[in-house]
Amino acid sequence: MRVGVRRAAGALFALALVAQLVVLYLPSPPSDLPQAPGLDKVLHAAVFLAPALLGVLAGLAPAWLGAALAAHAVASELIQHALLAERSGDPWDAVADLVGVALGLALGLLLRRRLAGRRRVPAA
């Protein structure tokens, strides 16, 4: 995979982590957001899918990245429950987070393989 792609993915990975921290630890989520059924779980999956996908594309080891994100998924719900009075820890949010990690890693590995395959020069 090209260095430029890895660098861009690394920068976006850092931004995705910042967004994840804001979403997970904002003391009081905005109350004027639409409350469609399941939207919260989709958001949880997305904030873990993005860094998993981008981290793989940036060249991070998928096993270590997945383990760190999975640990953060569980820890974030415990922190919300114990330390953020206006938030509550929800085991189903952690499940959605873990689904996002798994999907992000899988998509990242698939894209990384495809991008690496395009660089190969066919034998003459």
Q: Is 52 within the bounds of a domain?
A: yes
Q: Is 7 within the bounds of a domain?
A: yes
**Closest alpha carbon to 62 in 112, 114, 116:** 112
What is the model's pLDDT at position 33?
63
Q: Is 79 within the bounds of a domain?
A: yes
Q: Is 12 within the bounds of a domain?
A: yes
Q: Is 48 within the bounds of a domain?
A: yes
- In the numeric block, the tokens 């793989």 are attached to 56
Q: Is 85 within the bounds of a domain?
A: yes
Q: What are the tokens at 9?
A: 């993915």
Which residues of the chain are under the pLDDT cut of 50?
none
Q: Is 20 within the bounds of a domain?
A: yes
Q: How many domains does the chain have?
A: 1
Domain that holds residue 76: 3-26+38-119
Read off the pLDDT of residues 47-65 as tens digits, 9 standing for 90 and up: 999 999 999 999 999 999 9
Q: Is 31 within the bounds of a domain?
A: no
- Please answer whether residues 46 and 102 qualify as being in contact, where contact means their C-beta atoms are separated by less than 8 angstroms: no
Other beta carbons less than 10 A from residue 107's beta carbon:
15
